[in-house]
Amino acid sequence: MLAPTFFALLAFCAAALACPGEEGHAHVHKREFPKVPLPPPTRPLQWGDVNIIHTTDSHGWLLGHQKLSAPEPNYSGDFGDFASFVSHMKLLALEKDVDLLLVDSGDLHDGTGLSDGFPAGGVDAHETNQFIAELPYDVMAIGNHELYIYANTLDMYKNFAPKLNGRYLSSNVNITVADQHGNTISVPVGNRFAKFRTRKGRKVTSLGVLYDFAGNDKNTTVQKVEDMVKESWFAEAIKDEPDFFLLAGHMPVQKDKWPVVFNAIRAVHATTPILILGGHTHIRDCVQLDGRSMSLESGRYMETVGWMSVDLDHKGSNKNLTFSRRYLDPNRVSYEWHSRRSNFTFDTFLGQSITNGLEKISKRFNLDFLFGTAPHDFTISRAPYPSNDSLLTLFATEALPVALAINNTRANIPNRIVTNSGSQRFDIFSGAFTKNDQLTTSPFADAFLYIPDVPAGVVNTVFSALNNNGANERRRSVAQREGPMYGRGHVEHIYREWLEEMDKRSGAERRAMQNATIGYVTSDSCPGAGDDILHSPLPFFSSPDFIASNAPNVTDATPIDFVFVDFIEGQLLQVLNTVQKNKTYTAADVALYTPTLANAALGLYAQTAWN
């Protein structure tokens, strides 16, 4: 006899699909997108008894990557396309009579105009999260970007977590709120754990774990992972043996603390299958902590949809299980190929309604506002710095001098502007440069400060010293992954190390020899090939931690304005007082240079130079 949930699932799929013969709705033809050819997947997915579709670190990228420059079309599927894909895959799971779960590992906030471009008085990702909640997620875990601003955390607690019916998990994350009597209490943002049965009746115990994040806002708390596993609730949650443990969490699958959770479970259940879905470092990765477990991490920015499957055996067995994993490029070619649909039969009512809803948000937030037209691609790591194709060069030497001079009474005084290269989050591609692109590329609302009358030679020396110190700090951070920057959520260096390793491994040779589009080429610790589509690696060029405008054409002794972003004020003053001893500079010597913030600079420049 079929489990009762079968009929509910069938009803969901029937409501979601565009059924033939229904007037006005049958086989609605969606626009062909993207407008460049894409390669199909290389082989079918390997299905098992239990299968998982995994997302993580989506960061507001719900309308897909819409630019035509490579590799963006690889990731051009929007969240409506993804919803249609999930609906079709659920039906395939019914046909195969297997379980298919949908899991997310956190970081829904901070990334595009859809999440961040809300009008004054709004809350980050409140609008977009409503569409995420429409998908049949079995488990979702909290990420660190849900915790930087209390209002965002409160929105997740009040408005998002309840929609998951106990499946939004924050095992070691609490929020402080007022109870019904007005007393402050600290409670989980979601639930500490969840126990449920799959459609096939398998018992599941799930946790949602956040790495040891230290950058959370006041009135939120993150418990260290090693302390979490000592809690009485944790012991009670894992006491009864399920058919498998499903651990979702915003924590990388290697070089972090998943083994702490894993070992705590293994001490009680030595052979129970453990499926781990991680995130946070924005890379594709896989590792097996033993022969009866698999840990999968599925990239960032909806550039990857992860797939995991496992064939289970009887309880008490200690034999290795058969797992598979795959990293899918999220585009309509991939989705249609794996779901056995065509462009005429792929779209579902749910998928189309999500796409339409997201497009309405884009219009309401005015994300298509055009600043100008970029003449070519400007990338962070695919072009050397400095060079004409480098976004870091564009930002520091072109955009900042133009933007910071607008309505500035000090614009005629020679200056040099210094900022951190991490201020740029995403590439600019040829074509329209819109409000959404501005928010995506340069999101940080940092202010610019200055110290007047600093000798030009001293300014140049400070800039060089900052990069030497930055290089040392970067080397330390690689060796000490649990350092302060990592604890506050900085992972870009890990993502770029991954890109660099990818390029060094086979980049130039494969780009020269293979007729393949550029994209991710993954090497992980799990057996077999993980990437669904064969690519040539992205070119990679390293960049300094600090970038600057061109030095003014003056003598070393000439006093100039030393302009810098407020994010580096403390570090800059320390170096400034190290490289010269004529004066001890303090915060009292620092003033605001302009009301223009860093996140507005590229838009102001584009309006001037790209029109």
Q: DSSP alpha helices (H): ranges in 101-197?
A: 113-116, 126-132, 150-155
Q: Is the pLDDT of residue 223 over 50?
A: yes
Give the pLDDT band (50/70/90) at residue 20.
Answer: very low
| Nearest C-alpha neighbor of 73 from the set 317, 333, 290, 296 | 333
46: left (phi over 0), alpha (psi -120 to 50) or beta: beta
Residue 97 has what DSSP assignment? T
Q: Is the pLDDT of residue 279 over 70?
A: yes
Give the pLDDT band (50/70/90) at residue 23.
Answer: very low
User: Which class does domain 370-492+541-609 fall in?
Assistant: alpha beta
95 CB-near residues (< 8 Å, 6+ apart): none
At 483, list the tokens: 């350092």
Q: Are 82 and 335 in contact (CB under 8 A)?
A: yes
Alpha-carbon gap, residue 162 to 252, rounded angstroms: 26
Distances (CA, A) of 535 to 298, 378, 456, 507: 17, 21, 47, 10
pLDDT at 35: 76
521 CB-near residues (< 8 Å, 6+ apart): 502, 505, 506, 510, 531, 535, 536, 537
Give the pLDDT band (50/70/90) at residue 515.
Answer: confident
Q: Are 527 and 507 in contact (CB under 8 A)?
A: no
CA 144 to chain centre: 11
CA 185 to chain centre: 31
pLDDT, tens only, 147-205:
999 999 999 999 999 999 999 999 999 999 999 999 999 999 999 999 999 999 999 99
Q: Is the pLDDT of residue 477 over 50?
A: no
Q: Are 507 and 499 in contact (CB under 8 A)?
A: no
pLDDT at 58: 98
Residue 33 has what DSSP assignment? -
pLDDT, tens only, 25-42:
333 334 455 678 899 998
At 393, list the tokens: 């060069």
Written as one letter, the residue type at 110 is D
CA 365 to chain centre: 21
At 604, list the tokens: 């102001």
Q: How many CB atoms lie within 10 A of CB 407?
A: 9
Average pLDDT, the chain: 92
pLDDT, tens only, 577-608:
999 999 999 999 999 999 999 999 999 999 99
| Portion of the chain with pLDDT greater than 70, in percent | 91
pLDDT at 16: 53
Residue 99, SS3 per DSSP: strand
Between helices 5-16 and 349-364, what is the axis angle to 10°? 60
pLDDT, tens only, 346-392:
999 999 999 999 999 999 999 999 999 999 999 999 999 999 999 99
Written as one letter, the residue type at 304 is T
pTM: 0.93
Alpha-carbon gap, residue 333 to 39, rounded angstroms: 8
User: Which class does domain 38-364 fall in?
Assistant: alpha beta
Q: Is the pLDDT of residue 432 over 70?
A: yes
At 301, list the tokens: 């920015």
Strand order in the sheet with 293-298: 193-197, 203-210, 244-250, 274-278, 293-298, 284-287
Written as one letter, the residue type at 196 is F
Terminal-to-terminal C-alpha distance of the chain: 67
Residue 550, SS3 per DSSP: coil
What's the residue count for the chain?
611
Alpha-carbon gap, residue 204 to 417, rounded angstroms: 55
Residue 110, SS3 per DSSP: coil
| Nearest C-alpha neighbor of 602 from the set 436, 467, 449 | 436
Strands (E), 485-555: 518-519, 536-537, 546-548
Q: How many CB atoms lie within 10 A of CB 497?
A: 17
**Domain locations in the chain as residue ranges:** 38-364, 370-492+541-609
pLDDT at 485: 82
Residue 221, SS3 per DSSP: strand
Q: pLDDT higher for 282 or 478?
A: 282
Alpha-carbon gap, residue 172 to 351, rounded angstroms: 33
pLDDT at 22: 34
